[in-house]
């Protein structure tokens, strides 16, 4: 792997959120040897082990547990769950200046509005993630690509800069001029897989049941109607396309909501199903099935939040 000349300044990258998504990104970036990579974590660790399609590798990784100890960086990769963004605010405020770029590797459709209050005027690049990440232990993560493009950004200056940053890693970045459509397509994928796996406590094999498959099609039909009202160019058969895509995923894969429910944690209900119901209300579009899922998911997530305190 070709390294930059010694005179080139090494970019400083901080990864906030070292779960399956953030751990894979941190490990792959650190392995290139091109960047100074640090991680903002609850518990310190010296090395990070990453399992991927090419096997297992490990890298030394500098970690911080106190926001007061960090300095500003060139890039922040925000990889927390959406509902943890506020808790990550102390890190972001210490890491960011107007010269920083924050790549938000998070679910949902409102990255800018959610993150802007914490980043001191830094640029924000929304990133759609198309690899499955799972944290196996505090110092070990596993990632599995589920698409030809593991990461998707808008085709603008920030998105292209992020693609250049990730170029030395195996994670391919697609930049798109129609990011609105793509972020709604990602939301549709999540709108089916996450609620069903969390509520049934089963991995994605459950989506192959004929009754669950049919339910998902109806849930997605509601969501697609809302997405079109939001400006997404979704096809008439978009729900079927999404389910066909989900059937290409390994039935052994979990989802973020599934893993969080197993762990007794609150989960991303508002950024996923909640976002669909809220957008439907804005446009006067009924979303009864998504509304039922939202009520059930909120009840579980809010109870988990009480227990976790």
**The token pair that represents 290 in the structure block:** 């998504």
Specify the pairing of strand 123-129 against strand 151-154.
antiparallel
- Does 186 participate in catalysis according to the annotation? yes
206 and 212 in contact (C-beta within 8 Å)? yes
Q: For 128, phi and psi rounded to 5 degrees?
A: -90, 135
**Among residues 19, 98, 30, 32, which one has the least CA distance to residue 256?**
19
Q: What is the DSSP string of 238-291?
A: HHHHHHHHHTTS-TT---HHHHHHHTT----TTTTHHHHHHHHHHHT---HHHH
Catalytic residue, from 81, 94, 186, 225: name it. 186
153 and 161 in contact (C-beta within 8 Å)? no
**Residues catalogued as catalytic:** 186
């Amino acid at each position: 792997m070709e390294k930059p000349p010694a005179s080139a300044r090494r970019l400083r990258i901080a990864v906030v959120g070292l779960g399956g998504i953030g751990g894979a990104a941190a490990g792959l970036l650190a392995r290139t040897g091109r960047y100074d990579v640090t991680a903002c974590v609850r518990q310190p660790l010296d090395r990070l082990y990453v399992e991927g399609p090419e096997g297992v590798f490990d890298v030394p990784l500098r970690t911080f547990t106190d926001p007061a100890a960090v300095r500003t960086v060139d890039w922040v990769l925000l990889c927390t769950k959406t509902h943890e963004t506020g808790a990550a605010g102390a890190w972001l405020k210490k890491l960011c200046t107007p010269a920083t770029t924050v790549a938000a590797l998070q679910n949902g459709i409102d990255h800018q509005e959610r993150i802007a209050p914490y980043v001191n005027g830094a640029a924000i690049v929304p990133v759609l993630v198309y690899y499955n990440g799972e944290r196996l232990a505090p110092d070990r993560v596993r990632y599995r690509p589920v698409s030809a493009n593991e990461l998707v950004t808008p085709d603008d200056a920030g998105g292209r800069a992020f693609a250049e940053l990730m170029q030395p890693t195996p994670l391919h970045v697609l930049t798109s001029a129609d990011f609105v459509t793509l972020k709604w397509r990602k939301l549709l994928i999540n709108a089916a897989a996450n609620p069903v796996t969390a509520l049934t406590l089963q991995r994605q094999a459950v989506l192959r049941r004929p009754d669950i498959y049919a339910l998902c099609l109806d849930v997605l039909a509601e969501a697609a109607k809302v997405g079109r009202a939001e400006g997404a160019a979704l096809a008439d058969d978009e729900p079927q396309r999404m389910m066909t895509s989900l059937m290409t995923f390994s039935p052994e894969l979990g989802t973020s909501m599934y893993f969080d429910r197993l762990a007794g944690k609150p989960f991303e209900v508002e950024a996923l199903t909640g976002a669909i119901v809220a957008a439907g209300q804005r446009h006067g579009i009924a979303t009864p099935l998504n509304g039922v899922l939202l009520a059930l998911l909120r009840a579980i997530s809010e109870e988990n939040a009480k227990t976790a305190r």
